[in-house]
C-alpha cells in the first residue's frame, strides 16, 4: 500500500482551504507515495486475521509527513473463491486533508526473476491519459491516446511500442503514466485492465471503483534490490497496475478532487483476478 497520497505531488507542496502544506521531497524534487515514511514503511495494527482475510488499521497522525489531519485508515486484504486478491480501503479524518491511497504490487506472470515483462500483453480500458513533464508531474492536460503508444484499448505487448520516438515515453523512461479510465458508472467496481503472458497463459484482470490507474513497466529497476523470493529485480522484469485518483490533483483544479473532510469517509476497492487462458 502507498499513501496517504499515492504517486506524485509537485514540489512537495499544496494549498488546501487557504493553508499551504509542505511535504518531504523524496523523488526528483517532488513528493512520491506519501513522503519519506509513507504507508508502505510503517507498522500497521492487525484488527483480525483468518485464512482468507486480513484486516489492518493505521493512524496517520496530524502533521505526519506534512499532511494535515489524523487520518484513520482501515485496509482489508481478501482472497475470494474467484481467484481474486481484493483490497478494500476506508479512511476518515478530523481535519480537511487530501487522500489518494493505492496498492503497488509488482507482477511478472512468468514468475519472479524469470525474464522481461515486455512480451506481456496489456489491455487498458482508457481513451485518455494525464501527460507528464520531465519529472513525471502532470502538466494538467488530459490527452487522447488515439494514434499513440498509450492506446491499449486493444491488446498490445508492452515491448511493441515502448521504444517509440515519443516525448511521454522519454519522460517516463518507458510506461509510468496515469490512464483516465473509461468508466460506465460513477463509483461502481468496473474492469480497468488485463494482462496476459502468452507462454504460461496466465492472466490478471484489474477491477476498481477508482477513476484512474497508473501503469508502470519497471523502468527504474537495476537488479540491486531483491524480490519476494530473493531474486534480483531487474530492468523491466515486473510491472505495476495501481488503481488511484489522479497524481498531483491538489495542484490541478481541473482534476477530480482528492479532498477528504471530517464527517466523510474515503473508500476504495481494488481487485486483482488471476486466471489462465
Over residues 200-222, the pLDDT tens digits come to 999 999 999 999 999 999 999 99
The pairs formed by 157-164 with CB atoms below 8 angstroms and a separation of 24 or more are 157/118, 157/119, 157/120, 157/121, 157/122, 158/117, 158/118, 158/119, 158/120, 158/121, 158/122, 158/217, 158/236, 158/239, 159/116, 159/118, 159/119, 162/118, 162/217
What's residue 31's pLDDT?
Answer: 98
Whether 94 maps to a domain, the answer reads: yes
Read off the C-alpha cell for 96.
Answer: 480537511
Judge whether 266 and 60 are in contact, CB under 8 Å: no
pLDDT band of residue 193 (cuts 50, 70, 90) is: very high
Confidence class for position 151, pLDDT limits 50, 70, 90: very high
Mean pLDDT computed over every residue of the chain: 97
Average pLDDT of 242-251? 98
Instruction: Give residue 24's pLDDT band: very low, low, confident or very high (50, 70, 90).
Output: very high
Q: Is residue 119 domain-resident?
A: yes
Which residues are part of the catalytic machinery? 104, 242
- Domain assignment of residue 2, yes or no: no
For 35-94, write each residue's pLDDT tens digit.
999 999 999 999 999 999 999 999 999 999 999 999 999 999 999 999 999 999 999 999
Instruction: Please give the tally of structural domains in the chain.
Output: 1
| Predicted pLDDT of residue 210 | 98
pLDDT band at 178 (very low <50, low <70, confident <90, very high): very high
**Residue 25: which pLDDT band, with cuts at 50, 70 and 90?**
very high
What pLDDT score does 51 carry?
A: 97
Instruction: Evaluate whether residue 196 is within a structural domain.
Output: yes
Quick check: is 3 in a domain? no
Q: How high is the pLDDT of residue 169?
A: 98
Range of the structural domain that residue 97 is part of:
8-276
pLDDT above 90: percentage of residues in the chain: 100
pLDDT for 274 equals 98
The per-residue pLDDT for 70 is 98
Mean pLDDT across 105-129: 97
What CATH code is carried by the domain that includes residue 187? 2.70.98.10
The verdict on residue 1 lying in a domain is no
- Does 231 map to a domain? yes
How confident is the model at residue 249, as a pLDDT? 98
Amino acid at each position: 500500500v502507498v499513501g496517504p497520497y499515492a504517486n506524485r505531488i509537485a514540489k512537495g507542496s499544496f494549498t488546501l482551504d487557504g493553508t499551504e502544506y509542505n511535504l518531504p521531497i523524496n523523488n526528483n524534487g517532488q513528493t512520491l507515495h506519501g513522503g519519506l515514511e509513507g504507508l508502505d514503511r510503517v507498522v500497521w495494527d492487525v484488527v483480525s486475521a483468518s485464512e482468507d482475510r486480513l484486516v489492518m488499521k493505521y493512524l496517520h497522525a496530524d502533521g505526519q509527513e506534512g499532511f494535515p489531519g489524523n487520518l484513520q485508515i482501515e485496509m482489508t486484504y481478501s482472497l475470494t473463491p474467484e481467484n481474486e486478491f481484493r483490497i478494500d480501503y476506508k479512511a476518515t479524518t478530523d481535519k480537511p486533508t487530501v487522500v489518494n491511497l493505492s496498492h503497488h504490487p509488482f507482477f511478472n506472470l512468468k514468475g519472479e526473476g524469470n525474464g522481461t515483462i515486455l512480451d506481456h500483453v496489456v489491455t487498458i480500458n482508457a481513451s485518455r491519459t494525464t501527460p507528464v513533464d520531465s519529472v513525471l508531474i502532470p502538466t494538467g492536460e488530459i490527452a487522447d491516446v488515439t494514434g499513440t503508444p498509450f492506446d491499449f484499448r486493444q491488446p498490445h505487448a508492452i515491448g511493441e511500442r515502448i521504444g517509440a520516438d515519443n516525448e511521454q515515453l522519454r519522460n517516463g523512461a518507458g510506461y509510468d503514466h496515469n490512464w483516465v479510465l473509461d468508466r460506465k458508472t460513477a463509483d461502481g467496481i468496473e474492469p480497468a485492465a488485463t494482462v496476459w503472458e502468452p507462454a504460461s497463459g496466465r492472466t490478471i484482470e484489474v477491477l476498481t471503483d477508482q477513476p484512474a490507474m497508473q501503469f508502470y513497466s519497471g523502468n527504474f529497476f537495476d537488479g540491486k534490490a531483491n524480490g519476494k523470493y530473493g531474486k534480483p529485480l531487474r530492468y523491466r522484469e515486473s510491472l505495476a497496475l495501481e488503481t488511484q485518483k489522479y497524481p498531483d490533483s491538489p495542484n490541478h483544479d481541473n482534476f477530480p478532487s482528492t479532498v477528504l473532510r471530517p464527517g466523510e469517509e474515503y473508500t476504495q476497492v481494488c481487485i486483482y483476478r488471476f486466471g489462465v487462458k
